[in-house]
Amino acid sequence: MRIDMVSEHASPLAVLGGVDAGGQNVHVAALACALARRGAQVVVHTRRDDPALPARVPLADGVTVHHVDAGPPCTLPKDDLLAHMPAFADALVEAWRADRPDIVHAHFWMSGHAALLAARHVPVPVVQTFHALGVVKRRYQGDDDTSPPERLALERDIVRRADEIVATCTDEVFELIRLGATRDRLTVVPCGVDLGLFTPDGPRDPRTPGLGRLVAVGRLVPRKGLGNVIEAMAALPGTELVIAGGPPRDELRDDPEAARLRRIAEDHGVADRVELRGRVGRADLPALLRSADVVVCAPWYEPFGIVPLEAMACGVPVIASAVGGMIDTVVDGVTGVHVCPRDPDRVAEAARGLLEDPARRAAFGRAGVRRAQRLYDWDRIAAATLDVYARRGAAPKGRRARAGGLGPSDSGVRHLRGLREGLGALEDGADQLERWGRQLAATLLADGRLLAVGNGGSAAQAQHLTAELVGRFETERRALSALCLHADTSSLTAIANDYGPEEAFARQVRAHGRPGDVLVALSTSGRSPNVLAAVEAAAEMGITTWALTGDAPNPLAEICDDALCLPGASTATVQELQLVALHMVCGAVDREVARSERRTLPPGGRDRATAGGRTARARSEATA
């Protein structure tokens, strides 16, 4: 597959830390390389900002950076680039006519604008990732927003015209829907983290003896909230703060934002405990993060935020503003603490609580490593991105032309295609489902019980699971104890009436569950409050909890002991995949029960054990 990325200002070759060089540069570079590792050929088109740059530069095996001539070949603020996007689009047209890609993935709104202009002349599917939305930036920055006045209208146009839209967090989904995005073209695929570089083990940056340490990493711009973190230091004696980002250390004296931060430190009497380190090389960043007791990310707003993920992967707890992508990545009370933006007092309170509790810091750090490794590996992110591309028929060149829309039969074909893609992902989880089946069989054969919960279509799947266990799936075996907690409508409605709908399942878990039982929670979104409450009640009782959900990350997958997240193009597809997954579990249960019976029954015992079941079934059929 040939993939062209458009990233007009954020070159994957850029040195990080400048005003316009940060998370998007990391995202584009890492995603391009991860896609190439999966066999794609990737070209990243970015604007030439230096006349000495070659036209094409290899970034990695399978990845080439194309420097596009659009405007003067010098560094320009990204907010000044809109006037050069028509020239950028012309260069894309020329490149695509010479070598047409299977799909185009635009990063940032100006890249989307240029890509869609070019696609008028060379029809290619365009996938859009905004990374930041003008309406959100305007909301938080007001008159300080330097975006071109055309931005909001152009973003609405991109939302309307892009073939697919990739949001990097759930908060962005709501903003995009308000801009007119339809759910069938909208998918959440988060940013990732380099798990080979950011690890809990490795060297640590030297610390000042006797002081706790906070670390903050980010571009030196006011909206990153670094001034608020410095203000919090006044309430944290015995603690140092290291801020990494901006120009090299020897150029900080000429940086206006660095000067502003120094004044804040002096005004609050903490200048002797605040270090502005300047730009830190990517290879040196893990050691700095590992040296921290706590990493603080307190921006006023943040479209995603890669630093919290990097800190979590290094095993360091995070204090994060409850904004944007950090609502998804940092789990409050599990991997870190959420705070309100622009609230130095709350930052100080959260930091003090963590600095005074080493055991809590360690627990948060361990949970952060697990979460980063399970959900945010770049190879996983690349697989999810390829699923989005496949929905637009991205295939080797020449297989198909872009269609103008979906005809009456195309919607069914698209559904089947999405199901096939999902089944491929489900195959990756086959070992996990086999393990669930074996463990469930052992629990049920020891007189344990399965509890199953879900809402809507997931409720039907939960009931299907319990029916297969109490009855039989493929082979004759003993009846197994399984309860579907929505099936007793009298109890369900009574509990909902007396205790509220969120307690409808949790109270039944407390009534029917016993330590060592298993709860299977099904939810396409992973966010149903009554299902989450049931899992929390089960955990309190020592019940093993498993989740079958749609796309990760989601809260249900995070709080369960184990989870299988099934990406699907629609809720219906996820439900169909859940049914297949449940059948795989039931098959594993049958096999494990049969093995157990062979180990424990005397010769001929299996024939006698199954005869009763066959006789009962024969009597039933005779009287039907």
Q: What does the pLDDT read at residue 398?
A: 37
Q: What does the pLDDT read at residue 559?
A: 93
Residue 617 has pLDDT above 50, yes or no: no
Residue 449 has pLDDT above 70, yes or no: yes
- 547/399: higher pLDDT: 547
Q: Is the peptide bond before 341 cis (omega within 30 degrees of 0)?
A: no
Task: Answer yes or no: do 316 and 446 share one domain.
Answer: no
Residue 572 has pLDDT above 90, yes or no: no
* Among 340, 360, 375, residue at a domain's last position: 375
DSSP 8-state assignment for residue 9: S
Written as one string, the DSSP assignment of 513-544 is --TT-EEEEEESSS--HHHHHHHHHHHHTT-E
Give residue 620's pLDDT band: very low, low, confident or very high (50, 70, 90): very low
Helix (H, G, I), strand (E, B) or coil at 547: strand
Q: Determine the residue type at 349.
A: E
CATH code for the domain in which residue 503 is found = 3.40.50.10490
Residue 588 near residue 434 (C-beta atoms within 8 A)? yes
Taking all residues of the chain, what is their mean pLDDT, rounded to a whole number? 89
Q: What does the pLDDT read at residue 293?
A: 98
Q: Determine the residue type at 264.
A: I
Task: Answer yes or no: do 561 and 450 share one domain.
Answer: yes
Task: Answer yes or no: do 322 and 459 share one domain.
Answer: no
Distance CA 605, CA 248 (A): 78
Judge whether 203 lies within some domain. Answer: no
Task: Answer yes or no: do 365 and 266 share one domain.
Answer: yes
Q: What does the pLDDT read at residue 603?
A: 58
Judge whether 128 lies within some domain. Answer: yes
Residue that the structure tokens 């047409």 belong to: 100
Judge whether 412 lies within some domain. Answer: no
- What's the whole-number mean pLDDT along residues 396-409? 40
Judge whether 386 lies within some domain. Answer: no
With a CB cutoff of 8 Å and minimum separation 6, the contacts of 451 are: 482, 483, 485, 508, 509, 512, 513, 517, 518, 519, 520, 534, 538, 543
Give residue 297's pLDDT band: very low, low, confident or very high (50, 70, 90): very high
Name the domain count of the chain: 3
Task: Answer yes or no: do 341 and 277 share one domain.
Answer: yes
Give residue 605's pLDDT band: very low, low, confident or very high (50, 70, 90): low
For 542, counting Cβ atoms within 10 Å of its Cβ (0-12 exposed, 13-18 middle, 19+ buried), the class is exposed
Residue that the structure tokens 């959440």 belong to: 188
Residue 161 near residue 123 (C-beta atoms within 8 A)? no
Task: Answer yes or no: do 438 and 527 share one domain.
Answer: yes
Written as one string, the DSSP assignment of 212-249 is EEEEEE--SSGGG-HHHHHHHGGG-TTEEEEEE-SS-G
Judge whether 276 lies within some domain. Answer: yes
Judge whether 624 lies within some domain. Answer: no
Instruction: Dump pLDDT digits (tens) for 475-530.
Output: 889 999 999 999 888 888 888 888 888 889 999 999 999 999 999 999 998 888 89
Structure tokens at 274: 């605040």
Give residue 249's pLDDT band: very low, low, confident or very high (50, 70, 90): very high
Task: Answer yes or no: do 241 and 357 share one domain.
Answer: yes
- What's the whole-number mean pLDDT along residues 431-448? 94
Task: Answer yes or no: do 39 and 179 share one domain.
Answer: yes
Task: Answer yes or no: do 333 and 439 share one domain.
Answer: no
Q: What does the pLDDT read at residue 610?
A: 47
Instruction: Dump pLDDT digits (tens) for 189-198.
Output: 999 999 999 9
Residue 220 has pLDDT above 60, yes or no: yes
Structure tokens at 604: 């001929």
Task: Answer yes or no: do 282 and 325 share one domain.
Answer: yes
Ordered strands of the 63-68 beta sheet? 56-60, 63-68, 41-47, 2-6, 103-107, 126-129, 164-167, 186-188
Question: Which of 107, 114, 116 lies closest to 87 in space, CA to CA?
Answer: 114
CATH code for the domain in which residue 284 is found = 3.40.50.2000
With a CB cutoff of 8 Å and minimum separation 6, the contacts of 494 are: none
Judge whether 151 lies within some domain. Answer: yes
Judge whether 411 lies within some domain. Answer: no
Pairing of strands 56-60, 63-68: antiparallel
Give residue 414's pLDDT band: very low, low, confident or very high (50, 70, 90): low
The range of the structural domain enclosing residue 524 comes to 425-600
DSSP 8-state assignment for residue 571: H
Q: What does the pLDDT read at residue 411?
A: 58
Residue 345 near residue 234 (C-beta atoms within 8 A)? no
Task: Answer yes or no: do 71 and 117 share one domain.
Answer: yes
Angle at 195 between CA 279 and CA 306, to 5 degrees: 50
* Among 150, 172, 188, residue at a domain's last position: 188
Residue 507 near residue 538 (C-beta atoms within 8 A)? no
Percent of the chain topping pLDDT 70: 91
Give residue 612's pLDDT band: very low, low, confident or very high (50, 70, 90): very low
Q: Strand ranges (DSSP E) for 395-509?
A: 450-453, 482-484
Q: What does the pLDDT read at residue 567?
A: 79
- What's the whole-number mean pLDDT along residues 324-345? 94
Residue that the structure tokens 């690349």 belong to: 382
Distance CA 611, CA 253 (A): 87
What are the distances in angstroms from CA 87 to CA 12, 74, 151, 553? Answer: 21, 15, 18, 39
Q: What does the pLDDT read at residue 602?
A: 60
CB atoms within 10 A of CB 618: 10
Task: Answer yes or no: do 293 and 363 share one domain.
Answer: yes
- What's the whole-number mean pLDDT along residues 22-51? 94
Q: What does the pLDDT read at residue 569?
A: 67
